[in-house]
Chains A and B, each alone.
Chain A
Amino acid sequence: MKWIYIAIIVGATTVGEVMQAAGMRRHGEIHDFRPGAIGRAAAMLSRNAFVVGSVVAMAVSFFAYLGLLTIAELSFAVPVTAVTYVLETILAKYILKEHVNWLRWVGACLVICGVALVSL
């Protein structure tokens, strides 16, 4: 059951985070942090299909995560979900067309190796 929860979390989180990044990029930089401006930004984001899709995916991931927390330690449950990290970095480069330099790739690899060890 533990690994089923993890598979759901990894799949939903990966899809959700990439959609969230795409949606926020489409929206543009948020400059104004006054309550009225934030409300207007939230209203606009609620009509952004990428953002709405990311919220749905994150909700699926969240409830699977609740299930995982009932049967796993926190210091296992959080790091193990970093399996999404490799997928997200690859998708950031090939779907979002972000520039990922070699140093960042090395750093990402180290982070992943570390997260894998933490979760063993």
Chain B
Amino acid sequence: MSNEAARLRVKTWICGTVVVLSNVFGNLFLKKGMPAELPTPLSYITVLFQPWVALGVVLLILWLTSRMTLLSWADLSYVLPVTSIGYVLVALAGRLFLAEQIPVKRWAGIALIVAGVSLGTPPRTHKPEAGR
């Protein structure tokens, strides 16, 4: 493996980990702070100032920016399957931290997701058209 390929692989794993974890905990905190209903359009804005929701939003901004960074060198068709492990972790977070009841069908789905993600191949990076 060349130095360039090794560098890219390490950078991809670090950035991918940040993308997945910020997504999982961002969603968890968002749900934790969400009220039972948002009755008016204004309440969609005011709810953003609830502490848990605000923390969730900050993490989701981190998710968005780290994902954009990852997409600057990795293909979308690589990023999508690898970061889909986040779906599994979100379900687990819902079970562990929000006491959500997850039926057997969902756990079977989780096993399929893990199998699908494990088929992922190393990133085929694209040549940047205008690297900066």
Q: Which residues from chain A sit less than 8 Å from chain B, CB to CB?
A: 17-18, 20-21, 24-31, 41, 44-45, 51, 58, 62-63, 66-67, 69-71, 73-75, 77-79, 82, 85, 88-89, 92-93, 96, 98-101, 103-104, 106-120
Contacts and interface: CB of A to CB of B under 8 A. Distances in A.
Contact of B34 (A29, A66, A111): A66
Contact of B109 (A88, A89, A93, A118): A118
A24 B72 contact: yes
Contacts of B111: 114
Contacts of B95: 75
Nearest to A89: B77
Contact of A73 (B69, B94, B109): B94
| Size band of the interface chain B makes with A | 35 or more
A98 B95 CA distance: 36
A116 B102 CA distance: 14
A60 B23 CA distance: 18
Interface in B34-62: 34-38, 44, 47, 60
A71 to B, nearest CB: 8
A25 B28 CA distance: 30
23 contacts: A17-B76, A30-B132, A58-B64, A63-B44, A66-B34, A69-B34, A70-B34, A70-B36, A73-B94, A74-B27, A74-B28, A74-B94, A79-B87, A79-B90, A89-B77, A92-B75, A101-B121, A103-B121, A108-B80, A108-B81, A110-B116, A114-B116, A120-B103
